Amino acid sequence: MTQDSGGAPVTKRVVILGGGFGGLYAALRLEKELRREPGLEVTLVNRENFFLFTPMLHEVAASDLDLTNIVSPVRTLLKRVGFFQGDVQGIDLERRTVTVTHGLDTHPHDLPYDALVLALGSVTNFYGLPGLEEHALTMKSLGDAVHLRNRLIQLMEEADTECCALERSPLMTFVVAGGGFAGVETIAGLHDFVHASLRFYPNIGAKNVRFVLVHPGDYILPELGEELGRYAQEKLAARGIEIRGRVKVSEVDGKGVTLSDGAVIPSRTIVWTAGTTPNPMLALLPCPREKGRIKVDETLEVPGHPGVFAVGDCALIPHKSGAFHPPTAQHALREGSVVAHNVLARLRGREPRRFHFESLGQLAAIGRRTGVAKMFGMKFSGFLAWWLWRTIYLSKLPRFEKKLRVALDWTLDVFFSKDLVQFQTTRARTMSSAAPAARPVEPAAARRTA
C-alpha cells in the first residue's frame, strides 16, 4: 500500500456490491489479505444479511430441507470485511462512489471506493407476457421457495374440502415453465412433495394431481446434452409428469395458462423459471454491455474504467475459445477469488491474473433419489448421479454447522414424513376497544343493610 507524507499507510477502500457466489467469495479471499494489509478497507453491500446457497433452493420448496439450513449470515462468514445491508440506488463511476439506502426510512449513504466489484446478479424476466408478472411464482430467493411451499400446502388444504370438489382439478394442477436446471429440479421436488403428502388428505387422490413442464426445446436439460436430457425426460414422464416440448407460455390469468400452440391448462399455480436478466442497475452505467451483461476483459476488469470489476451473472467474461464463460455458480465462486487477487494487484500496481476455468461438469436432481450428471466428460444417471449431486453440493455449502444440519435433514427425511406446516409471517390477531367503565364502590353500611 502507498503511504502519505508522514509515512502512515493510506487507506484503500474496496466495495463489493452483491452477496452471491461471486461477491461473497471475493470478500472471503480479501478477508485473508486484511490480516497483513492494515491500509485496506473492504465493505460488502447486500440487500439480505445472509448468503443463499441457491443450488438447494428447490429442496426448501419441496420440504426436504429446513429453510435456515441453506443460508449463512454474512457476519458469521466475514470477521474483518465490513458488511452493509442495503439497496444500491446509484453508482457514480466518475466520483467513484456508490449510493446505498437502508433503514426503516431508507435513508441514503455514499460509499467511496478505490476499487469496485460488481456482483449484482440477475433478476427474473417475464418478457412482458400478459398476466405472467401478476400470477406467476418464481424461484430466485429464499422467500420465493417459502412462498411456493406455502402455496402448495394451502392448495392441498383447500382441495381436500368437500366444497371444492368441482375445483379440485385446477387447484391440484401445477405448471412449471422452463426445462433448464431450475425448472426440472423444481418440478421433480414438488412432485415428490405433493405425492408424499396425499396420505394426509383423504379427499385428494393421485388422479386429481397433475404436473406439467413447459419447455421450448426438443428435450429438457439441454446443457447436459441430448442423451441425459431425454433420460431425465423419460424418468419424469414415467412418474406422470407431462412434458410439453416445443411450446412456450403465451398468457396467464387467474384461471389457467395459455400455451403458444393454443392449449389452455386450467391451473392456479405456474412457476416461472424460464427467464432471467442481469440486474437493471447495470443499464445505468456507461459501460459496454451485451444482453444486459457488462463486458469485461480476461482480468475481469471493465475496459475504460480502471479499478472497476464485474463477476457472476452480471458479467460477460471472454473465454479463450472466443465464446464466453457461462453464468454458473461454479464459475462465479472462482471468479470471486480471481477478482480479489486482481483488485489487490490494481491497488498495488502489480500484474493482474487472467481468469480461465473449464467447467468440471453439471448435475441435476430429478427426484426419487435419481439424477443426471456430466462430470469430466463422463455421463452418469440414476442413483449414482443423485448421490454425486448431494455429495458435491454438500461439500460446497459454507460452514461445517450448515453441512451437518443439511446432512441430518436428509437423513431424517428417509425415516419421517415431509413437514406440512405453513411458514406464516402474519401477526397474531389483536383488537382495541374502550376500557370497561369502573363500577361505583358501595359504602360498607349499605352493603350490610342489603
CATH code for the domain of 176: 3.50.50.100
Residue among 184, 208, 201 at smallest CA distance from 420:
201
Q: Do 228 and 372 contact (CB within 8 A), yes or no?
A: yes
Average pLDDT over residues 46-72: 96
The 10s digit of each residue's pLDDT in 91-104 is 999 999 999 999 99
Tens of pLDDT, residues 102-132: 999 999 999 999 999 999 999 999 999 999 9
Q: Within a 10 A sphere around the Cβ of 29, how many other Cβ atoms?
A: 18
pLDDT in tens, 148-189: 999 999 999 999 998 877 889 999 999 999 999 999 999 999
Where does residue 368 fall: left (phi above 0), alpha (psi -120 to 50 degrees), or beta otherwise?
left
Residue 114 is placed in which grid cell?
Answer: 478505490
DSSP codes, 375-419: ETTEEEEEHHHHHHHHHHHHHHSSSHHHHHHHHHHHHHHHHSPPP
The string of pLDDT tens digits covering residues 184-205 is 999 999 999 999 999 999 999 9
Same domain, 287 and 320: yes
Q: Using an 8 Å Cβ cutoff, are 268 and 173 in contact?
A: yes
Reduced to 3 states (helix: H, G, I; strand: E, B; else coil), residue 233 is helix
367 shares a domain with 390: yes
Q: What is the pLDDT of residue 442?
A: 63
Task: Answer whether residue 1 shows pLDDT above 90.
Answer: no
- Position 440 pLDDT exceeds 60: yes
Inform me whether the pLDDT recorded for 344 exceeds 90. Answer: yes
Closest to 419 measured CA to CA, from 146, 108, 158, 20? 146
Question: Which domain, by its residues, includes 369?
Answer: 132-274+361-415
Cell for 367?
A: 427426484
**pLDDT in the model for residue 164:** 78
Q: Helix H segments across 198-328?
A: 226-238
pLDDT at 438: 62
Report how far Cα 250 is from the mean position of its chain's Cα atoms: 25
Q: Is residue 7 part of a domain?
A: no
Whether residues 177 and 36 share a domain: the answer is no
Pairwise CA distance, residues 96 & 98, whole Å: 7
Q: Is 201 contained in some domain? A: yes
338/233 same-domain check:
no
Please indicate, yes or no, whether residues 384 and 399 belong to a single structural domain of this protein: yes
**Distances in whole angstroms, Cα of residue 135 to Cα of each of 88, 142, 157, 169, 271:** 27, 19, 20, 18, 9
Q: How many other C-beta atoms can be found within 10 angstroms of the C-beta atom of residue 163?
A: 7
pLDDT score at 439: 66
Region 393-412: mean pLDDT is: 95
Position 428 in a domain: no
The verdict on 143 and 248 lying in the same domain is yes
* CA distances from residue 183 to 187, 213, 298, 316, 385 in whole angstroms, order as listed: 6, 8, 32, 24, 18
Residue 75 included in any domain: no
Spatial distance between the Cα atoms of 171 and 70, rounded to a whole number of angstroms: 29
Q: What is the mean pLDDT of the chain?
A: 92
- Give the Cα separation of 420 and 397 in Å (integer): 26
Shared-domain flag, residues 366 and 228: yes
Phi, psi of 377 (to 5 degrees): 85, -5
Q: Same domain, yes or no, for 254 and 144?
A: yes
Q: Domain count for the chain, please give it.
A: 2
Among 305, 321, 348, the domain-final residue is 348
Q: What average pLDDT does this structure show over 416-435?
A: 84
Confidence of residue 254 (pLDDT cuts 50, 70, 90): confident
Which residue among 296, 314, 348 closes a domain?
Answer: 348
Rounded Cα–Cα distance for residues 233 and 238 (Å): 9
Same structural domain, 144 and 111: no
